[in-house]
């Protein structure tokens, strides 16, 4: 249920990534670049996504996975004919060193350094009708908790979250001060660029696509 109700491509990235310029590739690079993208699943219904990055500061491919209750993802550079690197940023505990390679006619093999090997084949994911993004402006974080079965919950504070929902889902968003951000104060939430609420805690029924931002402002001298 979790994999079909929520597809999270990034747990705590994108706060500054969308302002980066797209990288231009040479014809030689384009000819040799990784071509197996989209969604993949294995015999245990683990879900893997591979998407081409168009961000200059994060070249390569975004590789994200939902393995039972575990979720991970980050940008992996291409090394030869494989993708290789950390699946979770270094500032997160438990990051994984992973290698992704082609397998068979259209499958991929995911190998975790010092761990398991996973064999994936392409799969189709129906497009979710509700797309929600939650971000922060300034030095602050937020938590996102839902009572819905199978819903992804950011119980630990994060700076950015993207949800793809297949049905309306109620979430409670709570803006919180980031570590080292004592001189930053929560000011307001915005929705689609317009002022929405000055209450740091919101309970919202995500029934239609929208972009939410928790705005923090510098209060120091």
Query: What is the reported pLDDT for 89?
Result: 56
- The CA distance from 34 to 18, in Å, is 22
Residue 93 confidence (pLDDT)? 59
Query: pLDDT value at position 6?
Result: 40
Low-confidence ranges of the chain (pLDDT < 70): 1-31, 89-94, 221
Distances (CA, A) of 213 to 135, 143, 186, 194: 5, 12, 11, 10
pTM for the model? 0.55
Per-residue buried b or exposed e for 82-116, using 16+ beta carbons within 10 Å of the residue's own CB: bbbbbbbeeeeeeebebbbbeeeeeebebbeeeee
Domains of the chain, each with CATH number or no CATH: 2-123 (2.40.128), 130-218 (2.60.40)
| DSSP state, residue 1 | -
pLDDT tens for residues 151-210? 888 899 988 888 989 999 999 999 999 888 788 999 999 999 999 999 999 999 999 999
> Angle at the Cα of 91 (from 88 to 94), degrees rounded to 5?
50
- 187: region left, alpha or beta (phi > 0 left; psi from -120 to 50 alpha): alpha
């Amino acid at each position: 249920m979790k994999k079909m109700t929520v597809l999270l491509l990034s747990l705590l990235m994108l706060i500054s990534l969308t302002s980066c310029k797209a990288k231009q590739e040479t014809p030689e690079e384009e000819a040799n670049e990784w071509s197996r993208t989209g969604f993949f699943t294995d015999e245990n219904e683990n879900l893997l996504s591979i998407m081409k990055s168009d961000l200059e500061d994060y070249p390569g491919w975004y590789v994200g996975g939902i393995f039972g209750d575990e979720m991970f993802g980050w940008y992996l550079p291409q090394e030869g004919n494989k993708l290789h690197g950390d699946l979770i940023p270094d500032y997160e505990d438990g990051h994984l060193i992973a290698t992704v390679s082609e397998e068979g006619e259209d499958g991929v093999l995911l190998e975790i350094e010092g761990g398991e090997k996973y064999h994936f084949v392409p799969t189709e994911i129906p497009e979710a009708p509700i797309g929600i993004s939650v971000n922060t402006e300034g030095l602050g974080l937020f938590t996102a908790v839902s009572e819905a079965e199978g819903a992804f919950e950011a119980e630990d504070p994060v700076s950015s979250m993207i949800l793809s929902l297949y049905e309306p889902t109620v979430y409670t968003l709570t803006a919180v001060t980031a570590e080292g951000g004592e001189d930053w104060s929560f000011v307001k939430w915005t929705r689609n660029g317009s002022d929405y609420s000055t209450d740091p805690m919101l309970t919202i029924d995500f029934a239609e696509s929208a972009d939410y931002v928790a705005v923090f402002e510098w209060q120091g001298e």
